[in-house]
Chain A
Amino acid sequence: KQEVTQIPAALSVPEGENLVLNCSFTDSAIYNLQWFRQDPGKGLTSLLLIQSSQREQTSGRLNASLDKSSGRSTLYIAASQPGDSATYLCAVISDYKLSFGAGTTVTVRA
Chain B
Amino acid sequence: ETGVTQTPRHLVMGMTNKKSLKCEQHLGHNAMYWYKQSAKKPLELMFVYSLEERVENNSVPSRFSPECPNSSHLFLHLHTLQPEDSALYLCASRRDRSSSEQYFGPGTRLTVT
Contacts and interface: CB of A to CB of B under 8 A. Distances in A.
A44 B33 CA distance: 13
B100 A32 contact: yes
Given A96-B31, A96-B55, A102-B40, A46 B45 contact: no
Contacts of A43: 2, 4, 6, 90, 104-107
Interface in A43-82: 43-46, 49
Given A43-B90, A89-B43, A102-B41, A95 B98 contact: yes
Interface in A91-105: 91, 93, 95-98, 100-103
B40 to A, nearest CB: 7
A41 B56 contact: no
Interface of B: 2, 4, 6, 31, 33, 40-43, 45, 48, 50, 55-56, 88, 90, 92, 94, 97-98, 100-107, 109
